[in-house]
């Protein structure tokens, strides 16, 4: 496993000449974003601000189809790479946090390291079996857990906690996690091999005629926007209220970087706005070694 902030990629070893002619066309009028990711991919966490902005501005034109990539099968599967053990990941994560300006606490890999990213990937497939929205919430929650809270999301107790928060049926979730989700995960790995996916994030933008553009690695927002507009040039950017207080109506949790990108403010300005909302008891704050996560406080009658 090799993660490089300069390329914006977390790569896995793959066989040469694996790319096959595979139809990944959209099945509806909306553009399909076939997104290969992994719950512990730091580069994928790094592009959350860009993808959230794309969804705010052009969400009516596309749907994201998340696929798991299998970044870390086991430590025995890797040898001689830049990232070959948990201590290496700890260093990389702290560097990635500084580079992406997203909170990522590498101490997890020194305190309670994951042996594999396969369990949380399979859990995500189990979540998808209960609907896209809940699954997306689940994926976001386990990323917050692993990157900020230093929780080993290969452990069932943390996966169960995320499932409860995301509104999943826990009995069905456990049944699928132990059963059908494993097959769905293998199907994702197979599709990735067919398409020659060798790192994350990899996003294929496709239309119903299977015209496609691939965005490989962490890129500036404009790259994702242009990939979408190439397939649907008539798309009109949606006008939304991007004041930070209003952003919590779209996303219940935000990092400071996400708030800055979505509101078109500097990190310092966004931090000040978030701090003021926190003082007004409108949002809560979770502080990690590398930054904060801000959460909407639900109002109860």
Using one digit for the tens of pLDDT, what is the confidence trace for 17-46? 455 679 999 988 899 999 999 999 999 999
| Fold of the 244-296 domain | Arc Repressor Mutant, subunit A (1.10.10)
Long-range contacts of 235-238 (CB under 8 A, 24+ apart): 235/58, 235/61, 237/57, 237/58, 238/56, 238/57, 238/58, 238/59, 238/60
Domain borders along the chain are 2-15+23-200, 244-296
Find the mean pLDDT for residues 247-258: 98
Q: Is 229 in contact with 235 (CB distance < 8 Å)?
A: yes
User: For residue 26, what are its two tokens?
Assistant: 């959209």
Q: Is 113 in contact with 89 (CB distance < 8 Å)?
A: yes
Strand, helix or coil for residue 11: strand
CA–CA separation, 44 vs 41, rounded Å?
5
Give the single-character DSSP code of 121. H
CA–CA separation, 17 vs 14, rounded Å?
9
Find the mean pLDDT for residues 160-164: 98
- The pLDDT of residue 1 is 58
- Could you check whether 2-15+23-200 and 244-296 share the same CATH topology? no
The CATH number corresponding to 2-15+23-200 among 3.40.50.300, 3.40.30.10, 3.40.50.280, 3.40.50.150 equals: 3.40.30.10
Report the share of the chain in percent with pLDDT over 90.
Answer: 86
Q: Indicate the pLDDT class of residue 271, thresholds 50, 70 and 90.
A: very high
CA–CA separation, 47 vs 149, rounded Å?
19
- The pLDDT of residue 246 is 97
Q: Across the chain, where does the E strand assignment appear?
A: 2-4, 9-11, 31-37, 62-68, 199-200, 202-206, 212-216, 253-255, 283-288, 291-296
Find the mean pLDDT for residues 117-143: 98
- The pLDDT of residue 10 is 81
- The pLDDT of residue 87 is 95
User: For residue 197, what are its two tokens?
Assistant: 């996916």
**Residue 128 pLDDT more than 80?**
yes
Using one digit for the tens of pLDDT, what is the confidence trace for 201-239? 999 999 999 999 999 999 999 999 999 999 999 999 999
Q: Indicate the pLDDT class of residue 78, thresholds 50, 70 and 90.
A: low
- The pLDDT of residue 80 is 43
Report the share of the chain in percent with pLDDT over 70.
Answer: 94
**Residue 14 pLDDT more than 90?**
no
């Amino acid at each position: 496993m090799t993660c490089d902030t300069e390329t914006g990629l977390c790569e896995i070893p793959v066989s040469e000449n694996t790319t096959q002619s595979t139809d990944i066309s959209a099945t509806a009028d909306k553009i399909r974003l076939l997104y290969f990711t992994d719950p512990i991919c730091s580069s994928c966490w790094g592009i959350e601000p860009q993808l959230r902005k794309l969804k705010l501005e052009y969400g009516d034109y596309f749907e994201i189809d998340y696929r798991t990539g299998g970044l870390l099968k086991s430590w025995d599967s890797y040898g001689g790479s830049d990232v070959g053990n948990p201590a290496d990941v700890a260093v990389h994560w702290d560097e990635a946090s500084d580079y992406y300006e997203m909170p990522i606490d590498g101490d997890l890999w020194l305190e309670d390291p994951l042996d594999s990213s396969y369990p949380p990937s399979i859990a995500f497939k189990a979540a998808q079996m209960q609907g896209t929205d809940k699954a997306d919430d689940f994926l976001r929650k386990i990323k917050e857990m692993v990157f900020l809270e230093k929780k080993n999301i290969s452990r069932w107790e943390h996966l169960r906690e995320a499932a409860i928060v995301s509104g999943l049926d826990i009995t069905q979730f456990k049944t699928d996690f132990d059963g059908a989700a494993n097959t769905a995960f293998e199907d994702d790995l197979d599709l990735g091999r067919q398409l020659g996916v060798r790192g994350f994030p990899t996003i294929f933008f496709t239309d119903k005629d299977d015209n496609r553009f691939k965005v490989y690695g962490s890129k500036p927002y404009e790259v994702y926007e242009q990939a979408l507009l190439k397939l649907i040039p008539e798309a009109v950017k949606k006008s939304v209220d991007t004041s930070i207080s209003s952003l919590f109506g779209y996303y219940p949790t935000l990092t400071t970087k996400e708030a800055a990108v979505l509101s078109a403010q500097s990190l310092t300005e966004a931090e000040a706005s978030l701090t003021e909302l926190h003082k007004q008891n409108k949002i809560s704050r979770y502080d990690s070694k590398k930054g904060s996560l801000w959460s909407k406080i639900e109002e109860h009658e």
